[in-house]
Amino acid sequence: MVGQICNRIVLPHIFLVSYPAQGHVNPLLRIGKILASKGLLVTLSAPNTIGDKIRKSNKSISEESTPYGDGMIRFEFFDDESEIITVPDEHAAHLEKIGKQKLPKMLQKHAEQGSPVCCLIYSCFIPWVAEVGESLRIPSAPLWVQSAACFSAYYHYYHNLVQFPTESEPELDVQLPYMPLLKYDEIPSFLHPWTQYPSITDSILGMFKHLDKNCCVLMESFQELENDEINYMSKLCPIKPIGPLFRYPTEKTVGSTKVDVTDAKYLVDVFKVGLRLSRGDFEKRVIPRDEISERLIEATIGPMAAEMKQNAMKYKKAAEEAVSEGGSSTSNLLDFLNELAVGVPMK
């Protein structure tokens, strides 16, 4: 049996599995460093397609365990044989096929070497990791790197609890519990019937299919930011907000400067820290320079500028408190580890 109570003589071993994209690797690496600093052995695993880029950016990357805080961190990449894939939409299915073959062997190897894996934490784009964990009796948890509001949208879509836009009704607005009304062009982009990336939609929805195989969902949000949404969704499935993982997110750390349209709506209409520039791709227009200039002036010296700055500072302070000692996100992460019987002391 691969899954077992972690050996107290060796460091408890957490195994992270990432989708091969920077926007997935960086959040997992960040949570890996947090866990390692608390006295755990953390392995970050991903296909070679992204592993090669990581090695080039950091020459110290190695399969050997490297001290980090009170624990250790290491990297273990695998060949996903992606060079044989010529159609992009086939990549997800191919990665699942290869991953299901190679991941169990990697986990078995660590068990035989006396460092059994206590838990799998994985990108939401590769939900099949939960199946591997279940087959080996290893607890697993996906890392959801979007908001609780987006999570709620996907959850209700998958379970068919609320009507969403369809090909026959493409301009259908969506009302989700404890959320403002979402216009048809404000729902998560991958849920549109005309999405250009149906394979990604299928991968994300696969995570919701396997929710019962996970011990919980780790979420890149925090209680004080989305209190109503988190409280509501916590009654439907076990979620643990542990964010924000990055103090000052940049394109380098999160892999993209693009904000999902649902999150953008929250920034403008709920958190009131921004202004709407355009309704996105749906208007199919190039935004003129004058319009951009007007919005910049409004955001900096206009009548709403002071309020937006005040709101931004309020949420900044709340975010700092959430990840500080005794904060909501820090407590959630420690609760998660203690539930796994990893035994990290409360600090």
What tokens were used for 25? 């690797």
What tokens were used for 92? 């997800």
Residue 335: Cβ-neighbour burial (10 angstroms; 0-12, 13-18, 19+): middle
What tokens were used for 335? 């609760």
Determine if the peptide bond prior to 244 is cis (ω within 30°): yes
Residue type, 110: H
Q: In whole angstroms, how far apart are CA 174 and each of 160, 161, 170, 187?
A: 12, 11, 11, 8
Contacts of 55 (CB under 8 A, 6+ apart): 61
Give catalytic status of residue 24 as yes or no.
Answer: yes
123: helix, strand or coil: strand
What tokens were used for 30? 């960040």
Q: What angle do CA 26, 29, 34 make, to 5 degrees?
A: 130
15: helix, strand or coil: strand
Residues in the chain: 347
109 and 78 Cβ atoms separated by less than 8 Å: no
Number of alpha carbons in the 13 Å side-chain half-sphere of residue 333? 27
Alpha helices in 58-197 (DSSP H): 91-112, 128-136, 148-158
Alpha carbon distance 124, 206 (integer Å): 9
Residue type, 61: I
Residue type, 295: R
User: Would you name the residues annotated as active-site residues?
Assistant: 24
